[in-house]
Amino acid sequence: MARPGKRDRSSAPEAAPLSTDRRGGVWPILGAAGLYGLLHPYRGIDGDARLYIGRALADLDPAGIGRDLMFVHDGQSRFSLFPLLLRGLVEAFGPAQAALAVGLAGLVAWFCAAAALAAGLAGRGRWVVLAAMAALPASYGFPGVFRVGEALATPRTLAEAAVLASLGACATGRDRLAGLLALLGCLVHPIMGLAGIAVLALVLAARDRRWLIALVALPLAALAAAALGLPLFDRLLQGLDPEFSAILRLRCADLFPSFWPGAAWGPIMVQGASILIAATLAPSRGRPILYAALGAGLTGVAASALFGDRWPALLVVQLQPWRFLWLTAVVGAAAFGLCAAGLWGRSADRLTLGLLALGWLFADDLVIAAGAGATALALHTALRRTRIDPTPRVILVTGALIGVLAASRLAFELSALSWLLSHRDEGAELRLGVVRNFSLVLTLALVGGLVWTRAAGHRGARIVLGAGLGLALVVLWDERTMTARAIEARTALPGLAATVAHRPGAVLWLDGEAQAWLLLARANWSSNLQGAGIVFSPVLARTWAERMDRLIAAGLAAPNDRAPFHPAGPRRPDTPPAAAVAILCAAPDAPAWIVVPLRERQDLPGNAGIFPLAAPVVTARTTPAGVSWHRTVAYGLLPCRG
């Protein structure tokens, strides 16, 4: 690379931004909305939606589901308005329709808020920014745990929408509206909303240094409230007792950054590089938001590492400030869109863009993501300061190397996807929710976006592509299986539900999640799902851990049910040991029934009935040897208490 000396870069022709804007602005927004919908399919009452639907059902049935340990010792629901809204919807329409309505409302609200933020950050290139926010994998924290903008009945998506709308208002100078929207996000989901408050505070401090007083005063006020022993704030000076800490570090390792693998840090690196580069391209009004989103995320991780991991304070562990990274992830995706719109003109700038794209493609590989992101940032800085001027040959060779690495990744993923398709069990479905985890989807999204943009000026092409996109959404967006739909509608396994109704009490549904709540209207005796909320209740944590330990020792559960973030281990025996069942059923706190998933031709001695499924349920399981398929064709019922 030759150094040109002090050439005046301002005299060079300005790079022409890549733009998808058309006079008819409906076409690009329809494409972005369709892309967002396809990459955020509806999974039904799944993920954390199970917890919130379960909470609503428990409030409506305090003598049944309400006796579940998770709801008796609930330490988080009272801090949000969302459970009140969801309870009314579940009471009026039932869990299935309520979950669908909230999931769809959250999806629409999130997309509209993202469009407002894209317009505030980019102006003319907003469609590129919005498409990047829709397509890029905005996950954060421990890999595979949290994603943004999910079509689920949770308060997270709605709170995220409020915060994104808040930042969009801030970018256009409407600070009061921005503050109100951020507060609304806090009322819906305090943890997600606090990220928006943190970013707004940093933006205001950048504009007016007098706001720094508030930034310093608020932590001091919190410490004063803790010293006075005020409720909630007193947890700031409380540590974690050893037993509670040990339980959390096994079941909720995602709370502690020291347990995060490299795949958790790679996205932060490439998101940060994208934000820093985009800040040099963005309009002045959007620049503070970019910096603040990165600063808030990194500060949150540092706070969790110091006061949640190294020197734990109960309130910090429960607030989980590392989750501020959700906003870093979303703004990082928007930043890549800004880079795509602003770095398309000059060949050297396209090299920077290629390095960034490589980092996103290998975001789960810390070495490549960090290397590509850092190199892109260094190259962009050097180009802006006119310290280097790559020759066409250097650009060609480097671009070819980036292409080879990208092609190798895509080839590997095609091979892995082909293997999954050829080795999947009969009845296993690989839908969009699985396929979107492959980086190959980003390439397909890029090609689809280019085709969509080219079709803007051709009426016939618009009709064909629009109809195709609409049909794809209708066919593919709802990923629920027939059995999942029946469970949500409480029409599956009627014989099982009728038999269980003859005896009151909790149900131990082996390998179960929310089936006991949805299908049987009973409390879970114990399940891995109950461990999701233990950070907010030490009592729940101890009771849940004690029961899980008993099940694992008896061969009725697997160690990974107690420690899901640790390496996969052996599963429990398919047939519960008769001696273990007898010991559990003799305990004073024994469940009333045990439900056992059954394979084909599997027998269940001493059962109260076997209830076949209308269609097998096939699930993928991670084992030390790789991926295996588990096929459930029926459920057996064991009576436990006389």
Q: What is the pLDDT of residues 215-265, one digit of tens each?
A: 888 888 889 999 999 988 999 999 999 999 999 999 999 999 999 999 999
Residue 279: both structure tokens together: 């800040």
What was the pLDDT predicted at 11? 36
Token pair belonging to 99: 């979950």
Q: Is 422 inside any structural domain? A: no
Least confident of 270-279, 297-306, 444-453: 444-453
Q: Last residue of a domain, which of 476, 508, 531?
A: 476
The rounded distance, in Å, linking the Cα atoms of 333 and 297 is 14
Counting the structural domains of the chain, the total is 2
DSSP structure string for 451-487: HHHHGGG-HHHHHHHHHHHHHHHHHHSB---HHHHHH
Lowest mean pLDDT among 415-424, 459-468, 518-527, 543-552: 415-424
Q: Are residues 472 and 487 in the same domain?
A: no
Residue 270, domain member (yes or no): yes
Beta-carbon contacts of residue 270 (< 8 Å; ≥ 6 apart) = 332, 356, 359, 360, 363, 369, 370, 372, 373
Domain end call among 420, 454, 476:
476
Cβ pair 284, 203 in contact under 8 A: no
User: Residue 81: how many CB atoms within 10 A of its CB?
Assistant: 13
Confidence of residue 607 (pLDDT cuts 50, 70, 90): confident
114 pLDDT tier (thresholds 50, 70, 90): very high
Q: Is the pLDDT of residue 440 over 80?
A: no
Check if the beta carbon of residue 412 is closer than 8 Å to that of residue 24. Answer: no
Q: Is residue 1 part of a domain?
A: no
Closest listed residue to residue 534, CA positions, set 79, 67, 76: 76
Residues 250, 134 share a domain? yes
Residue 44 has pLDDT above 80, yes or no: yes
Return the DSSP state at 11: G
Structure confidence at residue 625 (pLDDT) = 65
Is 9 part of any domain?
no
pLDDT of 606: 80
**Which position has the higher pLDDT, 378 or 12?**
378
Query: Is residue 469 domain-shared with residue 491, that is, in the same domain?
Result: no
One domain for residues 459 and 567? no
The mean of the pLDDT values for the chain is 89
Q: In what order do the strands lie in the sheet with 507-509?
A: 507-509, 593-598, 626-639, 610-623
Calculate the alpha carbon distances from 547 to 237, 239, 519, 562, 585 in Å. 30, 25, 23, 10, 13
Instruction: Indicate if 447 and 569 belong to the same structural domain.
Output: no
436 and 583, same domain (yes or no): no
Burial class (CB in 10 A: 0-12, 13-18, 19+), 328: buried
Residue 535, exposed/middle/buried by CB under 10 A (0-12, 13-18, 19+)? buried
Structure tokens at 339: 């880079």
What is the per-residue pLDDT for 139? 85
User: Domain ends where: 440, 456, 476?
Assistant: 476
* 3 CB neighbour count, 10 Å cutoff: 11
pLDDT digits (tens, 9 = 90+) for 470-505: 999 999 999 998 889 999 998 999 999 999 999 999
Q: What is the DSSP letter of 389?
A: B
Question: For position 626, what pLDDT does the model report?
Answer: 67
Q: Which of 190, 480, 219, 442 is nearest to 333 (CA)?
A: 442
Question: 497 and 459 share a domain?
Answer: no
User: Which uninterrupted H or E stretch holds 544?
Assistant: helix 538-554
Residue 517 belongs to some domain of the structure: yes
Listed residue (247, 268, 393, 256) closest to 327, CA to CA = 268
Indicate the range of 94-103, 179-188, 411-420 predicted with least confidence. Answer: 411-420
Does 497 reside within a domain?
Answer: yes
| Domain limits for position 137 | 28-342+432-476
Is pLDDT above 70 for 358?
yes
- Position 6 in a domain: no
Residue 524 is given by DSSP the state B
549/585 same-domain check: yes
23 confidence band (pLDDT: 50, 70, 90): very low
* Cα–Cα distance, 24 to 139 (Å, whole number): 33
Pairing of β 507-509 and β 626-639: unpaired
Residue 395 pLDDT greater than 60, yes or no:
yes
Q: Contact, 409 vs 361, CB < 8 A?
A: yes
* pLDDT value of residue 378: 94
Query: Is residue 248 domain-resident?
Result: yes
Residues 166, 211 within the same domain: yes
Same domain, 203 and 319: yes
* 249 and 152, same domain (yes or no): yes
Q: 463 and 610 share a domain? A: no
